[in-house]
Amino acid sequence: MGSVGLYVMLSLLIWMVHGSPQLRRANDRYGQCTYTFTVPSPKEGSCSEPREAMNAVQGLRVENAALRQLVDSVQTRVALLERVVNKILGGEASNPSTVGSQAGVNVQQELEKLRMEKDEWEGQRGSLEMAYSDLLKEKSSLEEDKQKMNDRLEKVLQGQCPKPWGTPQFSSVFSVSRWEADGVGYQELKSELTALPASRMIPESQSALQTSENKGASGSCGELTWVGEPITFRKADSIAGKYGVWMKDPEPITPFTQDTIWRINTVGADIRQVMEYETTEQLSKGYPAKVYVLPRSMESNGAVVYKGSLYYQRRKSRILVKYDFNTETVAVQKELPNSGYHGKFPYSWGGYTDIDFAVDEMGLWVIYSTENLKGSIVISQLDPKTLDVKQSWETPIRKQSVANAFLICGTLYTVGSYSSSSTTVNFAFDTRTGVQRPVSVPFQNQYGYASMLDYNPTEKKIYGWDNYNMVAYDVRLSKM
């Protein structure tokens, strides 16, 4: 009864505030007696339709279900990702079958990529094999041509200078140097056939007198009449030293001396290191006093050291560079107009020897060729301070028909072969007269691949690099 009184009091209170309430007493569907009070809303004039409310509720339920599905999908993916990561890191996944299937898909994709890469490499390999086969065929054809030319040369030599009847007959066939079956042998075909092995015009016994004669003729000029046998100072100990440059500065600047030796290994695409040795003994031991690193790579082995600076050709360009050893900086850079470079007009042995510096009693030179002259040698005298061309001479000598070149007393000399053990200095071009003439001064390539020759006017020596070996030749000049 107390409850009924409470409801009555509550209904009276609501009636006083909002208006007339209604009290309804009835059993619910479970048989429980319930009291329901109905109070009119003070703000709403009418209630919404039940259908609109149901539609809103239904929309909320659909959105809720979609969100649940999205959350479940994300949770599933995260779980799979965690299992794959655990599998990769060595952990144990809670569901091996699911992880295994996912990992299998990844493995299949990687295998497919590898197969595609393999097919691509196979295609490239086939192209390279075809190119290699073509080169072998070309080499075989060149060998046949060379043999034919050798046969013709022998016939020509046999027909020269016939002996009187009744005189002892000696073989008049000069032995042509063997043409090794290597990848670069065909480069010298032309030079070997134009440079016959030299006769001994000067007895070997006279070589012992060369040093004393040179001392007496120091500072004098003349024509080259004799080149001594090569003296070996050191052999390079790596493939980087198959070709190179080594020399002494004929006019050194303090702190360097006439005993200072400079060396550069020139095999590779990024030639930057220049090694300094204080003495030949230090060179023989192989421990440089200092190593300089050039700011720009050099091309091939045509560099020289002169008056405390390195003069070289910048890689893949016709730009000449002067590098000062004292400041360890580039002092001057200048383009050599119209010159060939990077294999356009090299010496017969190749090696991108298009631009070759030289030093003699007259100063600094550069040996090269141009498109206009189509490979004939050009000699230009340079100002060592500015690298400006002071004067140039055009010669009829084909650069690719000679193995190397150097200057002595303003005269250009060329060597016929880089691999023949017994070849000749075969041409001379005098810049004073502008006249080119054939010569025949014996010259030896002791190790079968002479790639560098440079004359030192102070010592009256030729420095050379012959198949890893650093060699030097004494020379004799005629008195003028």
Q: Are 340 and 321 in contact (CB under 8 A)?
A: no
292-319 pLDDT, tens digit per residue, is 999 999 999 999 999 999 999 999 999 9
Find how far residue 227's CA is from the centre of its chain: 36
Cβ contact 314:299 at 8 Å: yes
Q: Is residue 11 part of a domain?
A: yes
- Predicted pLDDT of residue 81: 79
pLDDT at position 75: 79
What's the distance, CA 201 to chain centroid? 44
Length of the chain: 480
248 within domain boundaries: yes
Which tens digit of pLDDT belongs to each residue from 169-215?
433 333 333 333 333 444 444 444 444 333 333 333 333 334 333 44
Model pLDDT, residue 329: 96
With a CB cutoff of 8 Å and minimum separation 6, the contacts of 121 are none
Residue 15's SS3 state is helix
pLDDT tops 90 at residue 36: no
Q: Is residue 415 part of a domain?
A: yes
- Residue 292's pLDDT is 98
Q: Please tell me the total count of domains within the chain.
A: 2
Helix (H, G, I), strand (E, B) or coil at 233: strand
Domain-embedded: residue 437: yes
Q: 460 by DSSP, 3-state: which?
A: coil
For residue 50, being part of any structural domain is answered with no
Give the structural domain span for 28: 2-38
String of DSSP letters for 335-378? E-TTB--SSSS-BTTBTT-SSEEEEETTEEEEEE-BTTTTTEEE
Q: For residue 362, what are its two tokens?
A: 């007259």
Q: Which of 3-12, 30-39, 72-81, 107-116 has the lowest mean pLDDT?
A: 3-12
Mean pLDDT, range 58-69, rounded to an integer: 76
Cis amide linkage into residue 197, ω under 30° from 0: no
Quote the percentage of the chain above a pLDDT of 70.
Answer: 69
Hey, what's the torsion of the CAs at 160, 163, 164, 166, to 10 degrees?
-150
Q: How far apart are the first and last CA of the chain?
A: 153
Q: If residue 25 lies in a helix (H) or strand (E), which one and from where to where?
A: strand 22-27
Residue 176 lies in a domain: no
Average pLDDT over residues 383-391: 97
φ and ψ at residue 327, rounded to 5 degrees: -90, -15
> Above 80 in pLDDT, residue 120?
no
State yes or no: pLDDT of 265 exceeds 90.
Answer: yes
Residue 85 lies in a domain: no
Cβ contact 98:77 at 8 Å: no
Question: What tens digit of pLDDT does each residue of 217-261 get?
Answer: 445 899 999 999 999 999 998 898 999 999 999 999 999 999 999
Whether 278 maps to a domain, the answer reads yes
- Inter-CA distances, 453 with 205, 268, 290, 403, Å: 24, 20, 24, 10
What number is the average pLDDT over the span 322-342? Answer: 96
Mean pLDDT, the chain, rounded, equals: 79
Range in 67-71, 214-218, 368-372 the model is least confident about: 214-218
Query: What's the CA gap between 92 and 180, in Å, rounded?
Result: 65
- Domain of 431, CATH number, reads 2.40.128.630
pLDDT band at 351 (very low <50, low <70, confident <90, very high): confident
